[in-house]
């Protein structure tokens, strides 16, 4: 769309006649008519007044293709997403393991397990090992350790070169 077409379109969408718009800008109706037909071009000051009057940018008036209304929000870059996930996994799993350690010292458990087989034997558990076994939380400790390892792997991923799909070199 040309400048002349934009001026005409904005004037009509604003519900103004050529005389009304010319009066608001401070030019003659004949000058405005020449702008709308493309026989003349408004000077810089008049372009600025038109832009202010119609609440548009001077770029949108002067450029043939108007710029996009607003840039699309950028998707998070994979280079940033992986370290964030890594840090979250590391911190949460470390916090979980620390909590289990504190709980095992606050609520100590001593347990002995007798095994029956070829020979009778007794196994004694103490500390965090006994706490996890007694409260059936061994699965949680294993899960937290794997989460910690996954977090470390996510943090270290960008440090090592790796082939991309379709890269045969």
The CATH number of domain 3-62 is 1.10.260.40? yes
Contact 86/58 with Cβ under 8 angstroms? no
Report CA-CA distances (Å) from 56 to 59, 94, 116: 8, 54, 87
Continuous segment of H or E residues that includes residue 27: none
For the chain, give every domain's residue range: 3-62, 78-159
Q: What is the mean pLDDT of residues 155-160?
A: 80
Q: What is the pLDDT of residues 48-58, one digit of tens each?
A: 999 998 889 88
Q: Give the model confidence (pLDDT) of 114-154 as tens digits.
A: 776 666 666 667 788 888 988 899 999 999 999 999 999 98
CA-nearest of 11, 9, 10 to 20 is 11
- Average pLDDT over all residues of the chain: 83
Question: Residues 46, 36: contact at Cβ < 8 Å?
Answer: no
Tell me, yes or no, if the pTM score tops 0.85.
Answer: no
């Amino acid at each position: 769309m040309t400048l002349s077409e934009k001026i005409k379109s904005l004037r009509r969408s604003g519900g103004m006649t050529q005389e009304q718009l010319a009066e608001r800008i401070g030019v003659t109706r004949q000058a405005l008519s020449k702008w709308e037909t493309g026989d003349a071009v408004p000077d810089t000051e008049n372009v600025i007044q038109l832009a202010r009057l119609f609440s548009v940018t001077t770029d949108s008036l002067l450029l043939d293709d108007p710029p996009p209304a607003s840039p699309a929000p950028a998707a998070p870059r994979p280079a940033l997403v992986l370290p964030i996930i890594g840090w979250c996994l590391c911190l949460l799993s470390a916090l979980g393991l620390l909590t289990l350690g504190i709980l095992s010292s606050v609520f100590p458990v001593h347990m002995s397990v007798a095994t029956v087989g070829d020979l009778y034997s007794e196994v004694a558990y103490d500390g965090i090992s006994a706490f996890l076994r007694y409260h059936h939380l061994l699965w949680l400790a294993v899960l937290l350790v794997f989460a910690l390892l996954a977090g470390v792997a996510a943090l270290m991923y960008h440090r090592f070169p790796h082939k991309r799909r379709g890269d045969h070199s």
